[in-house]
Amino acid sequence: MKIISYNVNGVRSAISKGFIDWVKAADPDVLCLQEIKCDEAAFDKQVFENLGYHSFIHPAVKKGYSGVATFTKQKPVSACIGCGEELYDTEGRVLRVDFPEYSVMNVYMPSGSSGDVRQDFKMKWLDFFLQHVEKEKQTLPGLVICGDYNICHQPVDIHNPKSNAKSSGFLPEEREWFSHFLSHGYVDSFRHFNAEPHNYTWWSYRAGARNKNLGWRIDYAIVTESLKDKLKRAAILPEAKHSDHCPVLVELG
């Protein structure tokens, strides 16, 4: 199973930049999109269905904001839209699809970069999310949790850790949460295969950051320990340029 996760920063914008041709060439079994910024009525599911995908969408209530969508070649056994907590579900942050051997959770974690109010919201979300996935794991042991986490876990995951030490997304409490999260039996699939620096998934639009590769690794494909032996490959795909993020890929055997 090949899974690709991609924060598209507006699905309609990405489609206007050739995204559908890219999906056709990449041909993932499961495609998880974050920050679709589009409600279900305005979402052109047909372009994905023409490629053979079943579509599942969880938009935010607020128009032009947040939202996740998952597309699968194989019809899932079941799909769960949302996390059951209205505070977060109004923002369209979680969508899970279940297959006989795996479940794939698509998540768009909040950013705290706009100020203290949203940073507090983010920290409360992180506490909730760990409890949520731990509960899910009890009945869905083969869990892939992919998406935009809005956190760089280690100094190797960010181009300038010293100057960003007080930046949302690299705060000590966020990084500590990430370590705590992984300690509950989860594996960062990319770091399972690759310990090298300068591997990023998001770049600011300012100052030519992407061309200089001055980025942050904030998009992940995390798997439960039970799937560790099934990991075949994990990669970052920076050549895809439909967004300020790039896709991440994980393959399971």
CA 202 to CA 179: how far, in whole Å? Answer: 21
**Count of CB atoms situated within 10 Å of the CB of 203:** 22
Question: Across the chain, which distance is largest between two alpha carbons, in Å?
Answer: 47
Instruction: State how beta strands 219-224 and 186-188 pair.
Output: antiparallel
Task: Report yes or no: 36 and 59 within 8 Å, Cβ to Cβ.
Answer: yes
Q: Please give the single-letter amino acid code of residue 124.
A: K
Per annotation, catalytic residue among 29, 98, 148, 219: 148
Per residue, what are the HEC states of 80-93? EECCCCHHHHCCCC
Helix (H, G, I), strand (E, B) or coil at 104: strand
Based on DSSP, count helices (H) and strands (E) in the chain, helices before strands.
7, 14
Closest CA relative to residue 246, chosen from 148, 174, 160, 153 = 148
Closest CA relative to residue 39, chosen from 7, 3, 10, 16 = 10
Q: Give kind and range of the element (H or E) at residue 148.
A: strand 143-148
148 is catalytic: yes
DSSP state of 228: G
Q: Which residues are catalytic?
A: 148
